[in-house]
Amino acid sequence: MNSLARRLVREARIDLWAATIGVLVNTVLGSNVVPRPIRWLGYRAFGTKIDTPNIFPGAKLLGPMRHISIAAGTFANRELYLEAVAPIAIGRDCQLGPQVMIVTSHHDRTADGVSKVPRARPVTIGDRAWIGARAMILPGVTVGDDVVIGAGSVVTRDCLEPGVYVGSPARKVGP
């Protein structure tokens, strides 16, 4: 199969997912009318490894559901966005503020500026991490245990040492 045919098949699969399972996962389960325990059971039924019912409404889960792992005790506020082309692992007892975005796909570009097919790069968030409102965690990043990411920060590289990281790109500013 040539590259154009592979790309068309891939696009068709994405569209089919969005029109079927994506509607159930993101529209129905992410709704304000679905209680958290039902949302949690629904996400698990679709293949996520979510061990906490504390996922609030408005969450958008994209990509293979098996790539999403959230440990017990973690709290995800409204409108969490998980783009799980590659695995996303979130540890125990984390706090994710409203509209936190975690992205796992990266598009390399050719010398003439053309974007290539996305490359998957996993994201790992350690135990007891706090991620502030509207923070963005980019592909391939590891956020260590006991790390705080300030609201609105853009995490472009690993933040392994416990402490407070803020800015774009996020840098350590405190213990």
Active site residues: 107
Length of the chain, in residues: 175
Q: Which residues contact 122 (CB under 8 A, 6 or more apart)?
A: 86, 87, 88, 89, 104, 140
Q: How many helices (H) and strands (E) does the chain have?
A: 3, 18
Half-sphere exposure of 27 (CA within 13 A, CB side): 8
- CA–CA gap between residue 44 and residue 128 (Å, rounded): 22
Give me the amino acid identity at 94: C
The residues near 152 (Cβ < 8 Å, ≥ 6 apart) are: 132, 133, 134, 135, 168
